[in-house]
Every structure is written in structure tokens, then in C-alpha cells.
């Protein structure tokens, strides 16, 4: 993984996420836009809970395969916007009123920690703190890509929420 290229895309993606979340008023952040949807606040909370931050700073072992072997599969799964994915219970957002400033601040902190891990840790090592049910353990590089494409996926969801609430496309 070219860290500089990754970090440029990560920074751009995270800026888009934070700007989009910040564009909602406090009330709009907690408005259910249509049946079966999360609120924008719940999407933000889900991205905070679904961060690989702890895994990137957790225990690792040397990788016995190409460290980016699962990157394309992760991209195919998360960037397929036609397929609805089911979140595991432990990353489901709570059904509460979210406070915009606190949510954005918490996400900024999480994003900064993930970014710092990418800059300072060995991303080719396998993170042993958690295994995805269908893919197994991922390397630091794969977890970083996982978070990037996960955010990109939910930016699309936030844009749909924005359009439903505001009646216009997010620019």
C-alpha cells in the first residue's frame, strides 16, 4: 500500500463525511428520512462504532500471505451500492437523539486515530483482535481499506438521507 496515496484518499473521504454530517441541523440529524432508514446521526455513530481503530493498535502477527490479498474483495462488497448489507449487532447505532457537535467531534477523534495508525504502524501485519466471519483476520492495510470503503458507502447513504430531508441533491 502506498501510504501517501491512501492517506490522500482517506483525508478527502473523511472531509466529505464530516462536511456532509455537519450540513444537517440538529433536528435533521435525528430525522428518519423514510421507512427502514437510519437517521444521519445513526449513520455517523455506526461509522464510529465500526472503526478498526482498536484493531490497528491491538495485537498483530506476521502475515503469511500478500498483505493486500483481500483489498479487492472488500472494495467489491462495500462499493456495491445495489446490495443492502446487514450490520452486525455490535456496530448497530443506538436509537437515541444524537448531538451534532459531540458526534462530529467523536468521529474526528476516531478518524485521527485511524490515520495516525496508518502513518505509524506496520500495515502489512495481521491484526489478531477480530476476524470477519467470511474473510477471517485482516492485515492493517486491509482494515484501513475496509474503513475507507465503509465510509464511502455510507457517504452515499447520507446523500440519500440529505435528499429525502432537504429535497435537493447534496453538492
Task: Give me the pLDDT at residue 114, please.
Answer: 98
Q: Does residue 162 contact residue 40 with C-beta atoms inside 8 Å?
A: yes
For residue 171, tell me if it sits in a domain: no
Q: 97-111 burial, b if ≥16 CB within 10 A, otherwise e?
A: ebebeebbeebeebb
Please say whether the beta carbons of 98 and 45 come within 8 A. Answer: yes
Please check whether residue 42 lies inside any domain of the structure: yes
Is the confidence at residue 153, as pLDDT, over 80?
yes
Across all residues in the chain, what is the average pLDDT?
96
**What is the mean predicted confidence (pLDDT) over 8-13?**
98
**What average pLDDT does range 80-97 have in this prediction?**
90
Calculate what percentage of the chain has a pLDDT beyond 90.
89
**Domain range spanning residue 89?**
3-166
Structural domain count of the chain: 1
Q: Which H or E element spans position 129?
A: strand 126-132
Query: Is 28 among the domain residues?
Result: yes
**Please, are residues 94 and 12 in contact by the beta-carbon 8 Å criterion?**
no
Please, what sign has the CA dihedral across residues 62, 73, 119, 90?
Answer: negative
Q: How far apart are CA 28 and CA 30, in angstroms?
A: 5
Write down the pLDDT at residue 81: 86
> Residue 36: which CATH number?
1.20.120.450
Which own/partner pairs from 137-140 qualify as long-range (CB within 8 Å, at least 24 positions apart)? 138/55, 138/70, 139/63, 139/67, 139/68, 139/70, 140/56, 140/60, 140/67
Amino acid at each position: 500500500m502506498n501510504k501517501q496515496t491512501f492517506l490522500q484518499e482517506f483525508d478527502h473521504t473523511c472531509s466529505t463525511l464530516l462536511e456532509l454530517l455537519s450540513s444537517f441541523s440538529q433536528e435533521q440529524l435525528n430525522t428518519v428520512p423514510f421507512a427502514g432508514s437510519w437517521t444521519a446521526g445513526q449513520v455517523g455513530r455506526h461509522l464510529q462504532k465500526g472503526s478498526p481503530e482498536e484493531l490497528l493498535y491491538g495485537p498483530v502477527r506476521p502475515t503469511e500471505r500478500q498483505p493486500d490479498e483481500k483489498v479487492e474483495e472488500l472494495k467489491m462488497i462495500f462499493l456495491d451500492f445495489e446490495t443492502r448489507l446487514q450490520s452486525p449487532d455490535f456496530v448497530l447505532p443506538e436509537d437515541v437523539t444524537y448531538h451534532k457537535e459531540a458526534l462530529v467531534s467523536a468521529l474526528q477523534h476516531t478518524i485521527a486515530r485511524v490515520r495516525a495508525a496508518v502513518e505509524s504502524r506496520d500495515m502489512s501485519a495481521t491484526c489478531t483482535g477480530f476476524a470477519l466471519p467470511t474473510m477471517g483476520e485482516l492485515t492493517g492495510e486491509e482494515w484501513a481499506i475496509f474503513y475507507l470503503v465503509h465510509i464511502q458507502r455510507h457517504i452515499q447513504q447520507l446523500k440519500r438521507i440529505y435528499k429525502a430531508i432537504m429535497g435537493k441533491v447534496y453538492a
